Amino acid sequence: MTASGDVTFVFRTHNTARYSMAAIIGALETDPRLQDLEIVAPHRFSLGLVRQIAARRRLIIGYSIMSTSRQELLKEAQYIRKEFGDSIVLVGGGAHATARPSELLSHGFDYVVVGEGEQAVRDLVDAVINEREPAGIPGVVTQQDESYPSPKDLPTVRLDDFPPFAIKTNVGGPIEVTRGCPFRCKFCATPFITGGRVRHRSIDSIVHWLSLAVDKWGFKRTWFLSPNALSYGGHGRRPSPEKMERLLRRVTSVPLFEELYFGSFPSEVRPDFVTRQLLDMMRQYVANKTVQIGVQSGSDRVLQLAGRNHTVAQGVDAVRIALDCGFVPHVDMIFGLPGESQADVSASLELCYDLVEMGAMIHAHVFMPLPGSAFENMPPGHLDRRCREVLGDLARRGVLTGSWGVQEDLARRVASPQ
């Protein structure tokens, strides 16, 4: 048995970490060095499970931490460190870990993976198993480090080098087809974490993993993850219709595969990428009846302050085109963005009514100052009484979704010091 034969890696299951769990476990289980590593993706993570495994094996617990779940997870990790001492290795990664590595280290984590995790986690787990210091692994920081790397200075991951999910460990998930975004919306942490260079998973790789999932799991449907679905195949600044059609045609031809969801929640499309030609083509292949469009505000001034690089009119055009092409547009709107005045809020609420009148649905959000975003130091979004009343009215009519009440509270928690 190799050194990895007495080590177990447990991924701390959490509803904010489902996608990263599939990708990270997929990366671990396909590394030839780690074939004897026991990987556990528990349906429910518990201290009982930790005690049970730690009693018989060396244990690494992997956390993927988003800013919205950091309070609960950091508290738990701190407790685990206290109860188990140095007998357990705690590894943290994810969006919050990338932006605030020191917060994790001060809560007892041994190692933090900054930036894209697939290769770094593989190398780190291999180092831990073989009791080597992980010095020199790009993106891995430890208690001894005095400064931390920025994701932009780290090697970028090539999606084709890793599976999108974990076939062997049986952890499914969407297929991430595009990573990175060249836009710089100030409320968004994606450009900080995954960089401005757009990378696509190749069609061959997508079809390969999808076919395996169909064979092994009887996968009948899947959805694609992308910061901007209509950017597939290009450099990220404009669509590449031929490559996109090739992708959709090949994927929907996989035998026994039935439904592809593309450009719908949790992915999104930018309004300035929506054209009749693209959506008409998409309609022939995809199963989704909806398309998720990020309009974000009814005020050009707020859009400009947020660095969105499109106008309200482009948003309205995109909604009209989506309707003409037979989709129900689901429109993302953010309330409480920095610099938003009362007049801007009114413009956003008016826009919601207009879009609903046209036949769209609204997906309402409250601005959160996400660490790593350009707006990270801005005050969290707050909804005034009129805004609540209008959103509540639209929700009661069944044309608006989104948990803006919960998000307002989450936004405050994201903004608060640990």
Spatial separation of the C-alpha atoms in residues 76 and 92, rounded to whole Å: 12
Lookup: tokens for 142: 């430890």
In angstroms, the CA 409 to CA 413 distance is 6
Judged by CB, which is closer to ligand SF4: 163, or 191?
Answer: 191
Ranges within 88-147 binding ligand SF4 (CB under 6 A)? none
**Among 183-191, 255-263, 344-352, 383-391, the segment contacting ligand SF4 (CB under 6 A):** 183-191
Q: How far is CA 358 from the centre of its chain?
A: 30
Angle between helical axes of 342-358 and 312-324 (0-180°, round to 10): 10
Rule CB under 6 A: say whether 239 interacts with ligand SF4.
no
Q: Quickly tell me which residue has 């309009």 as its tokens.
A: 295
**Of 183 and 219, which CB lies nearer to ligand SF4 in the complex structure?**
183
Does 190 engage in binding with ligand SF4 (CB under 6 A)?
Answer: yes
C-beta of 126 vs 272, nearer to ligand SF4: 272
End-to-end CA gap in the chain: 43
What are the phi and psi torsion angles at 373 (to 5°)? Answer: -85, 160
Q: Does 228 bind ligand SF4 (CB under 6 A)?
A: yes
Toward ligand SF4, which CB reaches closer, 62 or 174?
Answer: 174
Residue carrying the six token digits 């030609």: 277
CB 345 within 8 A of CB 384: yes
CB of 169 to ligand SF4, least distance (A): 29
Where does this chain touch ligand SF4 (CB under 6 A) — which range of 152-160, 185-193, 364-372, 391-399? 185-193
Separation of alpha carbons 404 and 418, rounded Å? 23
183 binds ligand SF4 (CB under 6 A): yes
Tell me the β-bridge partners of 330: 292, 361
Cβ-based nearer residue to ligand SF4, 189 or 347? 189
Please tell me the count of residues contacting ligand SF4 according to CB under 6 A: 10
Considering the complex, what minimum distance in angstroms separates the CB of residue 260 from ligand SF4?
21
Question: Taking the CA of residue 309 as centre, how many other CA atoms within 13 Å lie in the half-sphere pointing to its CB?
Answer: 12
At residue 16's C-alpha, the angle toward residues 10 and 21, to 5°, is 35
Q: Closest approach of Cβ 114 to ligand SF4, in Å?
A: 19
Smallest gap from residue 190 Cβ to ligand SF4 (A): 4
Taking the C-alpha atoms of residue 93 and residue 312, their distance in angstroms, rounded to an integer, is 36
In the list 61, 125, 141, 181, the residue contacting ligand SF4 (rule: CB under 6 A) is 181
Minimum CB distance to ligand SF4, residue 227 (Å): 3
CB of 247 to ligand SF4, least distance (A): 19
Start-end of H helices in 202-341:
203-217, 241-252, 276-283, 300-305, 312-324
Q: Are 316 and 357 in contact (CB under 8 A)?
A: no
Nearest approach, Cβ of residue 275 and ligand SF4 (Å): 17
Q: Are 118 and 92 in contact (CB under 8 A)?
A: no
Q: Give the contact letters, 266-305, x = binds to ligand SF4 (CB under 6 A), - = no.
A: ----x-----------------------------------
CA distances from 397 to 196, 290, 334, 360, 401 (A): 39, 18, 20, 13, 10
Nearer to ligand SF4, 307 or 359 (CB): 307
* Residue number with CB closer to ligand SF4 (64 or 296): 296
Minimum Å gap between C-beta 315 and ligand SF4 is 13
Q: CA 287: distance to chain centroid?
A: 22
Cα–Cα dist 224/110, whole Å: 33
Q: Which is nearer to ligand SF4, 169 or 240 (CB)?
A: 240
Binding site for ligand SF4 (CB under 6 A): 181, 183-185, 188, 190-191, 227-228, 270
